[in-house]
Amino acid sequence: MYKVKVYVTLRESVLDPQGTAVKKSLDTMGYQAVEDVRIGKFMELTIEKTDRDVEEVVKEMCERLLSNPVIEDYRYEIEESVVL
Amino acid sequence: MKFAVIVFPGSNCDVDMYHAAKDELGEEAEYVWHDATSLEGFDAVLLPGGFSFGDYLRTGAIARFSPIMNEVVKAAQARKPILGVCNGFQVLLEAGLLPGAMRRNESLKFICRPVNLAVKNNETMFTSFYNQDEVIQIPIAHGEGNYYCDAATLASLKENNQIVFTYEGTNPNGSIEDIAGIINKDGNVLGMMPHPERAVDPLLGGADGLKLFKSIVKQWRETYAVKA
């Protein structure tokens, strides 16, 4: 089994209205040191071992469904979990 | 002419679409559930607004993989008219039938009110009853209508005259170049955030949307009706 963590964020070039609102709020609260806030999504997947290379499968899922390549970037971490 | 109104779990403007096609146009219309696998016998496809699959992940992202979408893609390739409104537009973007993507409204608010639109291209099968640059009033109702595309896509949209509707006066959602609706290069797939199906009768507050549906029928008749 694999434990996969997928992080999806809006691309740097795309304005993030949620992030901007949160940054403004932090600013009002006194955290003026915050330069930028980007809101994203975090997904945890549990994937069974198959013949296919897990990284290849994860990339494919990210590009087809988990992220929208037009406006979002993704990264992932794959961990093999030992089934006892 | 026979319209298919695609219904996803969470669609909520399907009845309005059906009403526009069936009662206002007097044409045939049928609901088609998202897991159907055929659009045989239909001349046009209407993708309604709503919150398909609860807008989970991204708007339209899950609906785009519904079985019926394979048929919608085939219908698009067969040059049949495909109209996606609001969530229907979002589904068309996710499906890659139209370029670009949707972001949250700049204000982060769900906005539901009539807006003014300018008809920027009246030479499409959806807009032939409008005048070029005519200003019409159609309601919007969305939280994610902030259209985005990269500079190259925008240039190509302009070059091919694919921007069909823009917001006139104030832009409610922050969309790039005030875009409210775009069409594909082939000219048969239109996506728009405003709801023409909610403006088909003065009783509903206006009938400016009716010409859009009438344009579809006109084009179809001109193409397929036997010329005497």
Confidence of residue A81 (pLDDT cuts 50, 70, 90): confident
> What confidence score (pLDDT) does residue B65 get?
96
A13 vs B194: CA distance, rounded Å: 26
Kindly state the average pLDDT of the residues B93-111. Answer: 96
Strand partners, A77: A5
| Chain B contact set for A6 (CB, 8 A) | none
Q: What total number of domains does chain A contain?
A: 1
Sign of CA dihedral B79, B81, B86, B91: negative
Interface test with B, best of A60, A65, A74 (most B CBs within 10 A): A65
Question: What φ, ψ does residue B87 adopt, rounded to 5°?
Answer: -60, -30
> What confidence score (pLDDT) does residue A83 get?
67
* DSSP E strand stretches across B39-110: 44-47, 82-85, 101-103
Q: What total number of domains does chain B contain?
A: 1
Q: What is the ipTM of this complex?
A: 0.85
B101 versus A13: the higher-pLDDT residue is B101
Instruction: Give yes or no for B176 touching A (CB within 8 A).
Output: no
Which residues 2-61 on chain A approach chain B with CB closer than 8 angstroms? Answer: 10, 13-15, 17-18, 21, 41
> What confidence score (pLDDT) does residue B27 get?
97
> What confidence score (pLDDT) does residue B227 get?
58
Kindly state the average pLDDT of the residues B34-59. Answer: 97
Domain that holds residue A59: 2-80
pLDDT in tens, B201-226: 999 899 999 999 999 999 999 988 76
Strand partners, B103: B146
Return the percentage of chain B with pLDDT > 70, whole number. 99
pTM of the full structure = 0.94
Interface test with A, best of B65, B103, B105 (most A CBs within 10 A): B103
Domain harbouring B50, CATH code:
3.40.50.880
Question: What φ, ψ does residue B67 adopt, rounded to 5°?
Answer: -50, -40
pLDDT in tens, B126-171: 999 999 999 999 999 999 999 999 999 999 999 999 999 999 999 9
Nearest partner of A69 among A5, A13, A1, judged by Cα: A13
Domain harbouring A14, CATH code:
3.30.1280.10
> What confidence score (pLDDT) does residue B226 get?
62
B138 vs B205: CA distance, rounded Å: 9
Contact B146 A10 (CB under 8 A): no
Domain that holds residue B25: 2-224
B98 vs B107: CA distance, rounded Å: 25
The minimum CA-CA distance between A65 and chain B, rounded to whole Å, is 7
